[in-house]
Structure 1
């Protein structure tokens, strides 16, 4: 059974704001509010992969302290763009 798009977006929004560290809660919640509804199904799949990553790694990637894995780099760039406004 396929998950309805609206349900998927709600689930991803919840996962975006219920992270391990507050900084990632804030960064990913901002991104989810600004862009989640505009992502393609393939981009949403990749966002789910991103949400499985360790918060400390994610924070370093988004803030530019370390380079993200190549497959996540375009999505990390989008998160960074939203977070820097």
Structure 2
């Protein structure tokens, strides 16, 4: 069972994923977090937390292929997000 601090961190990241500021980002990042967050390692949580600091417009550009993630954001978690396919509930 994860440590209490780890559970709090995951809940905080899940909340941030579902409350981004644009409906599109909420749906994509929230659904991605629902699917993957529970299984993330500590290093993946760090990478995802850094990803959430990124502007929604930049993430959208990566998702649509307009631009590629910069080197510091080209992580396993970012690649997982880019491969993720949103499925409406």
Q: TM-score range by the shorter chain?
A: 0.7 to 0.9
TM-score normalised by the chain length of structure 1: 0.86
Q: Counterpart of 2:82?
A: 80
Checking the alignment, whether the CA contact within 8 Å between 1:31 and 1:79 is kept in structure 2 is: yes
Instruction: Please show how residues 1-85 of structure 1 align to structure 2 within 5 Å.
Output: 4-73=5-74, 74-83=76-85
**Which 5+ residue runs of structure 1 have no aligned equivalent?**
none
What RMSD over aligned residues (CA atoms) do the two structures have, in Å?
Answer: 1.8
Q: Which has the larger helix fraction?
A: 1
**Which 5+ residue runs of structure 2 have no aligned equivalent?**
none
Matched positions, count? 84
Checking the alignment, whether the CA contact within 8 Å between 1:16 and 1:25 is kept in structure 2 is: yes
Q: 1:21 to 1:4 in 2, by over 3 A?
A: same
Checking the alignment, whether the CA contact within 8 Å between 1:47 and 1:75 is kept in structure 2 is: yes
- Aligned structure 1 segments of 4 or more residues deviating by more than 3 angstroms: none
